[in-house]
Amino acid sequence: MNLLENLGINVTDQSKTRVILKMKLEDKHMQPYKIMHGGISTVLAETAASIGANLNIDGDDEVAVGVDIMTHHLNPVKEGVLVTEATPVRVGNTIQTWTVTTHLEGHAISTSLSTVTLKKVPLKTV
């Protein structure tokens, strides 16, 4: 099981210019105080940015991986379905920066700025 499956993250829209994720909050997403753990916002942000960044890569010898993320937690959340939207700020040849906002019922609960780098991957041999 991968991270998206384990946390219940669904990719509902993906393109080179926008990625949308949805996730229903469950007990496993909460800290002991019964509010969402802040790491969840960061996981959603980096996931959305990385998906979008990888869609902007031409060829199959590179992969986009996160190198920096800054997340601002705006409001605590106890329940509901989160919607995360990522859009590119800049898509360069080696670095991409994405802005990400996570909402609950139209109210922003976090904003993030995610930077990814393009990493060469060795071609697999048969």
Q: Catalytic site residues?
A: 46
Domains contained in the chain, number: 1
Tell me the C-alpha distance between 126 and 35, whole Å.
Answer: 48
Within a domain: 28? yes
Residue 125 lies in a domain: no
Within-domain flag for 89: yes
- At 65, which amino acid appears? V
User: Residues 66-111: pLDDT tens digits?
Assistant: 999 999 999 999 999 999 999 999 999 999 999 999 999 999 999 9
Please give the Cα distance from 58 to 69 (Å, whole number).
24
With respect to residue 126, please indicate whether it lies within any of the assigned structural domains. Answer: no
**Does some domain include residue 8?**
yes
Which residues form the domain of 70? 3-120
Reply yes or no on whether the pLDDT at 1 is more than 90: no
Q: Give a yes or no: residue 104 inside a domain.
A: yes
> CATH number, domain at 99?
3.10.129.10
Q: pLDDT tens digit string along 14-64?
A: 999 999 999 999 999 999 999 999 999 999 999 999 999 999 998 788 899
Whether residue 35 is contained in a domain is answered as: yes
